[in-house]
């Protein structure tokens, strides 16, 4: 029983990280029908900002989170303004190619500044508690609690605030919304800012749990978070949360039953199977295109 509980706790930790990162994908897609493939690299930038704030500036935990989130917010808004906004009326394939190019640029720019893996110093003491064979660490509790608070806050914002109403309206009809006095560019920029900020916070929490980081760490994590968003139903906020925990559970169980090298294979196989039987994801709904 203790072993099962331990794996369940590992699933919650991994699933929380995937869910928070997946929200960045699903928010941008829900508003613009654009897959921001550079989002995984924003997560990587958040981890490196965490390293700079701890190793170079020697900041405590809360300022580290603020620095990582604020830095990725600025980068996310800049990417939207300089790379995506000029292509808003262009064919979707142009925006997708641009997103891939932005990701490669961020990776190589980071590589030029820091070509070697970095070890992130300990931000908070990692205290462990033992409950009848179940080992719970303070880092695991922090990751799960912070992730749940972020997801609950975003769900409240999207469903209960005027900004969330504008986001949902923008997802339904971008052409009509400006006629109602809604600043479309501001709403889109804020959407990118929130998604990027979530990526920065996730990068900080990942660096706390797995303290060795490198410029290419965002590639695989980003793809897996994208899988989580698709599994839950990309464009659906709660679907991204659900998909993150499902992927975390699948990877954890795969590592228990099979060699750990099969985890990526299992994750992408899950995506293929789901796309065959439910192309819109678990909570996703097909969009009706009026012509």
pTM for the model: 0.92
Residue 131 DSSP label: E
Q: Tell me, what's the pLDDT at 25?
A: 92
Whether residue 289 has pLDDT greater than 70:
no
Q: To 10 degrees, what angle do helices 263-277 and 237-257 make?
A: 130
Residue 282 within any structural domain of the chain: no
Residue 52 within any structural domain of the chain: yes
pLDDT tens digits, 135-144: 888 999 999 9
Residue 53 within any structural domain of the chain: yes
The closest alpha carbon to 138, from 55, 208, 229, 72, belongs to: 208
Number of domains in the chain: 1
Residue 100 within any structural domain of the chain: yes
Residue 21 within any structural domain of the chain: yes
Q: Tell me, what's the pLDDT at 283?
A: 84
Of the ranges 143-157, 197-211, 229-243, which one carries the lowest mean pLDDT score?
229-243
Q: Which residues, 6 or more positions from 127, have their beta carbon under 8 angstroms from its beta carbon?
A: 137, 138
Residue 256 within any structural domain of the chain: no
What's the pLDDT band for 287 if we cut at 50, 70, 90? Answer: low
Residue 28 within any structural domain of the chain: yes
Contact 137, 127 (CB under 8 A): yes
Residue 271 within any structural domain of the chain: no
Range of the domain at 121: 2-217
Q: Tell me, what's the pLDDT at 54?
A: 93
Whether residue 134 has pLDDT greater than 60:
yes
Q: Which residues, 6 or more positions from 10, have their beta carbon under 8 angstroms from its beta carbon?
A: 140, 252
Token pair, residue 119, equals 């070890």
């Amino acid at each position: 029983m203790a072993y099962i509980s331990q794996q369940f706790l590992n699933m919650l930790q991994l699933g929380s990280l995937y869910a928070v990162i997946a929200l960045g994908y699903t928010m941008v897609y829900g508003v613009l029908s654009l897959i921001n493939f550079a989002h995984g690299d924003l997560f990587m930038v958040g981890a490196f900002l965490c390293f700079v704030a701890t190793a170079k500036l020697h900041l405590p935990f809360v300022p580290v989170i603020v620095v990582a989130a604020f830095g990725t917010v600025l980068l996310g808004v800049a990417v939207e303004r300089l790379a995506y906004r000029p292509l808003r009326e262009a064919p979707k394939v142009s925006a997708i190619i641009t997103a891939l190019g932005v990701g490669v640029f961020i990776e190589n720019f980071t590589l030029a500044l820091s070509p070697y893996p970095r070890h992130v110093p300990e931000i908070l003491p990692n205290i462990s508690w033992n409950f009848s064979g179940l080992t719970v660490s303070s880092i695991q509790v922090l990751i799960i609690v912070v992730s749940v608070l972020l997801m609950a806050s975003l769900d409240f914002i999207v469903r209960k605030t005027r900004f969330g109403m504008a986001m949902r309206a923008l997802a339904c009809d971008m052409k009509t919304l400006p006629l109602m006095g809604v600043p479309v560019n501001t709403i889109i920029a804020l959407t990118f800012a929130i998604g990027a900020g979530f990526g920065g916070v996730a990068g900080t929490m990942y660096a706390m749990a797995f303290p060795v980081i490198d410029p290419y760490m965002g590639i695989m994590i980003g793809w897996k978070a994208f899988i989580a968003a698709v599994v839950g139903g990309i464009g659906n906020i709660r679907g991204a949360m659900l998909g993150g925990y499902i992927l975390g559970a699948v990877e954890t169980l795969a590592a228990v039953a099979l060699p750990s090298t099969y985890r990526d294979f299992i994750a992408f196989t899950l995506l293929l199977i789901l796309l065959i039987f439910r192309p819109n994801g678990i909570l996703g709904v097909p969009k009706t295109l009026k012509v």
